[in-house]
Structure 1
Amino acid sequence: RRVFVTGHSAGGYLTLMVGLDKSYLQEYGVDADSIAAYLPISGQTVTHFTIRKERSLPEGIPVIDQYAPCNKARKDTPPFVLITGDRNLEMADRYEENALLASVLKNIGNKKVSLYELQGFDHGQVYVPGCCLVANYIRNFIADGR
């Protein structure tokens, strides 16, 4: 169990989807719960704006359907470490979306979720300190003998 999944922006969205909706990895014979941790950086937690655009839905209005990580929240998961930039500098609603997902997960009893807001970093910059958090998480995971 030393596989970690991470990604920034759209990669963060995909990280959330494969971790919360077990069907994506199951298609390849992998149990999503066998992953050590999911560490998305600035991922969308509602339906991705590209999907909303393809459906001609209005911009700025969140949709939570089968393509939304929030809709796939589960109680029993590996750790989820949600990382975003500064809510005042990030893409619109990105921090708030991640806070919503963290709240939903906690409210259904998931005790393996944490949320980090990296002050002073916008969407294009947050991956640099975000990767440092990811590297430290992995280093500590291994040092703890897990």
Structure 2
Amino acid sequence: MIKRTLVYILFLLVTSISFSQELSYKTVKNISYYPDETVGLTEYQRAQCRLDIYYPEGKKDVPVIVWFHGGGLTGGGKEIPQALKNEGYCIVGVGYRLSPKVKAATCIDDATAAVAWAFKNITDYNGDPDSIFVSGHSAGGYLALMAVMDKGRLAKYDIDANDVAGLVPFSGHTITHFTIRSERGIPGEQPIIDKFAPLYFVRNDAPPTLLITGDRELEMLGRFEENAYFYRMMKVAGQEHITQYEMQGYGHNMTHPAFPLLIKFIQEHK
């Protein structure tokens, strides 16, 4: 719950500038992560469930960041954050279906399918399947948490969620997402912890986790406190590899100063 962002930025500038200059990068867009033979595949699913990949050419087995965009599960689109480019990583920007065209819980299904796709295909883009980090902002942070914490989801693709190298949600819900609650007529001020809440799946064998939120006084309703409770319960459960940072002075849109924390986390756990 402390911030050392400036130290991390200086560290990363010194250590990565020469490395990044040696690599050239390629972007491939609109790759479908559901096979064409998927039963019941709809046109909306075919259009939304695509990903973009930004990766270094000429270097194999680089760490991978699967990134989910924010937007409350109702808006936004796939993105590759500029701050993650030129760092020697393979970045996967994921699109997913949105409420109200589908139930918000469907977003979790899509996120899981995208992570599974990365495990099975990322070597084609110089990524290391043994070094996949799952991250995202706001709704994207929630999806990252759900896809990994609920082990049963990736297990459907014959993937052990514990093979994820690291989990780094930015300002993600750890209770049931407010859009899922809204679909049930539950107000945003009423917290729910059920099978659509990362807190429901607290366990001591989860991948190394870095929780990042904005300032508790500037964040969205209770977002810091949710993450603090998730952190505490993970520690109580016996998870030793979890850290929480509060980006003091920043609100919910705290991605820019938080990206160096993600990069340093990957350097420490790749």
2:165 maps to a residue whose letter is A
Structure 2 residue identity aligned to 1:138: I
Of 39, 48, 65, which aligns to 2:177?
Answer: 48
Cα distance, 1:133 vs structure 2? 0.6
Q: Which has the larger radius of gyration?
A: 2
Residue identity over aligned pairs, in percent, reads: 46
**Post-superposition CA distance 1:93-131 (Å, at most 9, x none):** 00000000001111111111110001111112x111221
For 1:109, the equivalent position in structure 2 comes to 238
Per-residue CA deviations over 1:76-106 (Å, capped at 9, x if unaligned) read: 1110110001111110100000000001111
The number of equivalent residue pairs is: 141
C-alpha separation between the residues in 2 aligned to 1:27 and 1:94? 30
Match of 2:135 in 1: 6
- Aligned equivalent of 2:257: 129
Matched, 1:63 2:156: no
Q: Which has the higher strand share?
A: 2
User: For structure 1, which runs of at least 5 residues remain unmatched after alignment?
Assistant: none
> What's the secondary structure of 1:75's corresponding residue?
coil
Q: Which amino acid aligns with 1:74?
A: R
* One of 193, 197, 218 as aligned partner of 1:89: 218
Moved over 4 A (4+): none
Q: 1:140 offset after TM fit, Å?
A: 2.9
Q: Displacement of 1:30 after TM fit?
A: 1.7
SS at match of 1:3: strand
CA offsets 1:44-68 (integer angstroms, 9 cap, x no match) = 0000000100000122110001111
- Cross-structure match for 2:247: 118
Amino acid at match of 2:146: M
Alignment match, 1:22: 151
Superposition RMSD on alpha carbons, in Å? 1.0
Q: What is the TM-score with the length of structure 2 in the denominator?
A: 0.51
| 1:75 CA displacement | 1.2
Matched to 2:228, the amino acid is A
State the secondary structure of the residue aligned to 1:16.
helix
In the alignment, structure 2 segments of 5+ residues that lack a partner are 1-129
Distance 1:138 1:55, change over 3 A: same
TM-score by length of structure 1 reads 0.92
> Per the alignment, in what secondary structure is the counterpart of residue 2 of structure 1?
strand
